[in-house]
Amino acid sequence: MPAAANSLHSAPRAATRRAAAGPGTSVNPAEVKAQIEAGLPGSRASVRSDDNTHFEALVVAAQFAGQRPLKRHQQVYATLGAAVGREIHALSIEALTPEEWSARGGA
């Protein structure tokens, strides 16, 4: 994830609409972030997109402890439901525990 992702910020968590909106609609990074954080309680996410179709997500969650990357990614995908493959055409995920995030210099 680009250097900007090195600062997980706490933006308002108000979800304006569920990321799994109907066909033909689009979602923005704030909506994807809110959906991930709602689906993984206590997590922090940073989501970027240049076109509201291809997304990059950095997700820090205690739930990832002891899990392999595939399981972590599956948990993130599960929070987004049917939007993956529809409104969300592609999603690049970096999923870390709080300890892994701190070790990388995250704040």
pLDDT in tens, 88-106: 999 999 999 999 999 999 8
- What are the domain boundaries of the chain? 3-103
pLDDT number for residue 24:
57
Q: What is the DSSP letter of 79?
A: H
Residues 33-54 have a mean pLDDT of 97
Residues 5-13 have a mean pLDDT of 44
Kindly tell me if the per-residue pLDDT of 48 is higher than 60. yes
Kindly tell me if the per-residue pLDDT of 13 is higher than 50. no
Helix ranges restricted to H, 1-107: 29-39, 69-80, 98-103
Structure tokens at 24: 């033909």
Record: fold of 3-103: GMP Synthetase; Chain A, domain 3 (3.30.300)
Cα gap 43→61, rounded to integer Å: 4
